[in-house]
């Protein structure tokens, strides 16, 4: 069997792979948020979803998926969990009955409100550790990376 890929090359790929590096940090950060948010009964994905719903009342399910970069199946599954917990309400759009819209309930707002101090504490520590300017630069770089991904010629 011919081996074109040398071990040194493979090691380099492992060290610099954008996807692997971002997944590792994302996974660690998700675990941290989930652990700290556990007393609220929310996971970070649910907190983020509730926040998006709160800031965009009566948002369509498809628009929510676009904002969160999630496919329709994932959004629907996540929303059903929130609905069963009484945190969101899903109904037909009054202007287009083919479209379902979602809004946050009073209980959902209460959960979001109770979880926000925990989110703030983690966020403040992250920004404080790397510096506000560096954090702002990180967000700009992530936006640039998203643009590269969105415009990648397949």
Per-chain mean pLDDT for the chain = 95
- 1 domain residue, yes or no: no
| Domain span at 82 | 7-150
- 42 domain residue, yes or no: yes
Six token digits for residue 90: 């899903």
For 61-79, what is the mean pLDDT? Answer: 95
* The total number of structural domains that make up the chain: 1
> What pLDDT is attached to residue 61?
95
- 2 domain residue, yes or no: no
Six token digits for residue 4: 């074109």
Q: What's the rounded Cα separation, in Å, for the pair 148 and 71?
A: 20
Model pTM greater than 0.75? yes
- Angle made by CA atoms 51, 56, 57, in degrees to the nearest 5: 105
Q: What's the rounded Cα separation, in Å, for the pair 30 and 26?
A: 6
> How long, in residues, is the chain?
154
Using the structure block, give the residue that is written with the tokens 């397949």. 154
In this prediction, residue 1 has a pLDDT band, given cuts at 50, 70 and 90, of low
Q: Which of 52, 48, 76, 46 lies closest to 62, judged by CA?
A: 76
Instruction: Write the pLDDT tens digit of every residue in 83-111.
Output: 999 999 999 989 998 999 999 999 999 99
Q: What's the rounded Cα separation, in Å, for the pair 141 and 147?
A: 10
CATH code (residue 139): 1.10.10.10
Q: Residue 142: pLDDT above 80?
A: yes
> What pLDDT is attached to residue 3?
76
Using the structure block, give the residue that is written with the tokens 């800031």. 55
For 112-136, what is the mean pLDDT? Answer: 97
> What pLDDT is attached to residue 63?
96
């Amino acid at each position: 069997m011919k081996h074109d890929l040398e071990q040194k090359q493979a090691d380099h790929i492992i060290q610099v792979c954008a996807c692997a590096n971002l997944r590792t940090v994302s996974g660690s950060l998700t675990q941290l948020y989930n652990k700290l948010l556990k007393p609220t009964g929310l996971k970070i994905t649910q907190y983020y979803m509730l926040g998006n719903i709160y800031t965009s009342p009566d948002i369509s399910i498809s628009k929510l998926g676009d904002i969160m970069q999630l496919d329709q199946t994932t959004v629907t599954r996540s929303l059903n969990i929130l609905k069963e917990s009484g945190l969101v309400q899903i109904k037909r759009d009054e202007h287009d009955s083919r479209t379902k819209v979602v809004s946050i309930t009073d209980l959902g707002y209460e959960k979001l409100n109770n979880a926000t101090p925990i989110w703030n504490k983690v966020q403040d520590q992250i920004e404080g550790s790397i510096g506000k300017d560096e954090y702002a630069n990180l967000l700009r770089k992530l936006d640039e990376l998203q643009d590269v991904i969105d415009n990648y010629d397949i």
